[in-house]
């Protein structure tokens, strides 16, 4: 008898995450959350304007980041982004009310092995 097998889940940059209840995600906005600048958007978009917004984001259990996506490349210089998600459930009704998406962007230098190293000065 075989034991339980691990099934890989989708974590690629092209992974699509469905919005809540048919409400599209709003645009990414740079916001200050607990003294940290973060690039966020939500579904529904109104979640970003709620009084509980900062507490929701700070108290959220965020997913791991999805894989990096290269936005553009110039020689060895890469500009890339990655995403992660968290959701908020209404404690009284157990209904999913808000889904937050965070985007992190960075510039790095492509190393000889194809990985990304720190960007030190310009050009790479």
The span from the CA of 89 to the CA of 97, in Å, is 5
What was the pLDDT predicted at 1? 37
What does 23-47 look like in DSSP terms, one character per residue?
A: PPP---EEEEETTEEEEEEEESGGG
Structure tokens at 57: 């984001």
What Å distances lie between residue 4 and 7, 9, 10, 67, CA to CA? 9, 15, 19, 26
Domain boundary assignment for the chain? 21-117
The reported pLDDT for the residue numbered 114 is: 79
pLDDT band at 96, cuts 50/70/90? confident
Nearest to 107 by CA among 92, 122, 97: 122
Closest among 8, 9, 13 to 104, alpha carbons compared: 13
CA-nearest of 103, 116, 91, 87 to 31 is: 103
Q: pLDDT digit string (tens) for 40-78?
A: 999 999 999 888 899 989 999 999 999 999 999 998 888
Q: Pseudo-torsion of CA 26, 27, 32, 38, nearest 10°?
A: 110
Average pLDDT on 6-10 reads 55
């Amino acid at each position: 008898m075989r034991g339980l097998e691990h099934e890989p889940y989708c974590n690629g940059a092209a992974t699509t995450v469905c919005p809540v209840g048919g409400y599209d995600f709003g645009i990414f906005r740079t916001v200050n959350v607990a003294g940290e600048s973060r690039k966020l958007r939500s579904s529904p978009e109104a979640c970003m304007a709620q009084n509980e917004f900062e507490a929701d984001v700070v108290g959220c259990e965020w997913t791991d980041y999805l894989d990096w996506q290269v936005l553009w490349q110039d020689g060895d210089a890469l500009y890339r982004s990655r995403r992660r998600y968290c959701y908020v459930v209404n404690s009284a009704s157990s209904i999913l009310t808000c889904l937050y998406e965070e985007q992190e962007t960075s510039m790095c230098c492509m190393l000889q092995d194809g990985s990304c190293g720190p960007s030190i000065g310009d050009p790479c």
